[in-house]
Amino acid sequence: MIIFRSVPAVAALVLAGSLAVQVPAGASTTDGAEAAVAEDLDQSPDEELPLGDLSGEGKWSVLTDNLRWALDVAGRVDVNTRDGSLTHVEFVGIDLHKVVSTSKRDIGTLLVQLYGKGVDGDWKYTTRLLYFNYLASGGGGFNVRIGHILVPFGLNLPSRTPGTLRQYIAGRNIGFKADWGASVNGVLPEWNYEISLTRGSGVDFKSHDSPYLVSGRIGSSMERPLVAGLSALYGDVLGKNGVVRKARVGADVRWLGGPVDVRAELSYGSDDRTTDVLNAFGEISWWSPEESVMGYVQGRFFMNKPANAWQETSYLTVGARIHVLRYIWLSADYRHGLTRDSRAQNPDVFRAQIRYRFF
* Cβ(109)–Cβ(96) below 8 Å: no
Query: Is residue 231 over pLDDT 90?
Result: yes
Per-residue pLDDT, 23: 35
Per-residue pLDDT, 342: 72
Per-residue pLDDT, 43: 44
Per-residue pLDDT, 21: 33
The pTM of the full predicted model, rounded to 2 decimals, is: 0.85
pLDDT over 70 for what percent of the chain? Answer: 82
Mapped onto helix, strand or coil, the DSSP state of residue 278 is: strand
Is 269 inside a domain boundary? yes
Residue 345 pLDDT level (bands cut at 50, 70, 90): confident
Per-residue pLDDT, 291: 85
The closest alpha carbon to 327, from 349, 354, 347, belongs to 354
| Mean per-residue pLDDT, 94-100 | 90
Per-residue pLDDT, 10: 39
Is 109 inside a domain boundary? yes
Residue 160 pLDDT level (bands cut at 50, 70, 90): low
Alpha-carbon distance of 143 to 129, in angstroms, equals 17
What pLDDT digit, counting tens, does each position of 109-124 carry?
999 999 999 999 999 9
What residues make up the domain containing 275?
A: 7-358
CA end-to-end span of the chain, whole Å? 51
Please state whether 259 falls in left (phi above 0), alpha (psi between -120 and 50) or beta. Answer: alpha
Residue 266 pLDDT level (bands cut at 50, 70, 90): very high
Tally of domains within the chain: 1
Alpha-carbon distance of 343 to 82, in angstroms, equals 10
The mean of the pLDDT values for the chain is 85
Query: Is residue 24 over pLDDT 90?
Result: no
Is 110 inside a domain boundary? yes
Per-residue pLDDT, 184: 97
Is 181 inside a domain boundary? yes
Identify the residue with better confidence: 18 or 66: 66
Is 107 inside a domain boundary? yes
Is 54 inside a domain boundary? yes
Is 1 inside a domain boundary? no
Give me the CATH number covering residue 295.
2.40.160.10
99: number of CA atoms within 13 Å, CB side? 20
Mapped onto helix, strand or coil, the DSSP state of residue 30 is: helix
Is 2 inside a domain boundary? no
